[in-house]
Structure 1
Amino acid sequence: MNLQQQLMERLDTLNPSHLEIINESANHGGYYPGKESHFKVIIVSQIFQGMRAVQRHQKVYGAVQSLLAAGGGGIHALALHTYSEGDWDGHFPNSPECAHAPKN
């Protein structure tokens, strides 16, 4: 199972009503086809109701810890956009350009 699928499986434990996982590895230096190192996660869950952003992020990190590079996994960067159902308006921010992105 690839990292993106494992990430999806772990985040499903947070009972999301909306979940998007975008592999942004191609936008970063050192990319090669099939690389899985940089992801953007957009997750909406009622479990986040009443939590501050840092608490929401801690909840996500707790679910995916072993997949992160520091935990022995292969994910180098994880951009989190966490929303409760009341906060979610269907929009999320664009990712910034990476300074080491491959130049076309």
Structure 2
Amino acid sequence: MSTKDAIINKLREAFAPQSLDVSDESHLHEGHSGHRPGGETHFTVNIVSPAFQGKSRIERHRMINAALAAELAGSVHALALTAQAPGEAGG
């Protein structure tokens, strides 16, 4: 299973998102710190989930980081997050 698939599966399981987009942007970081041949080091996550209702931006990021602890301790070097509750998207 690719790292991207693992991230998608763990976020779906943890947060039952209304929408989820995970992009591998490793190719944009060639030659930079943390990049490895084969990629799967730099990801962007956009997620909308009721689990984030009433949570601060920092709390949301901590929730995601906890769900992806194994990936963050291993192959993932950078994770850019946009985490919103329903009704916040687009604004």
TM-score normalised according to structure 2 size: 0.88
Q: Which residue number corresponds to residue 43 of structure 2? A: 39
Q: How does 1:74-93 map to 2 (within 5 A)?
A: 74-89=75-90
More helix by share: 2
Distance 2:78 2:52 in 1: 22
Secondary structure of 2:68 counterpart? helix
Q: Which residue number corresponds to residue 55 of structure 2? A: 51
State the 4+ residue runs in structure 1 displaced beyond 3 angstroms: 30-34
Secondary structure of 2:27 counterpart? helix
TM-score normalised according to structure 1 size: 0.78
Count of residue pairs the alignment pairs up = 87
CA contact 1:26–1:32 (8 Å) conserved in 2: no
Task: Give the RMSD, CA atoms, in angstroms.
Answer: 1.6
Q: CA, structure 1 residues 32+54, in 2 after alignment: closer, same or farther (shift >3 Å)?
A: closer
| Identity fraction in percent | 36
For the pair shown, the structure with the greater C-alpha radius of gyration is 1
Distance 2:10 2:17 in 1: 11
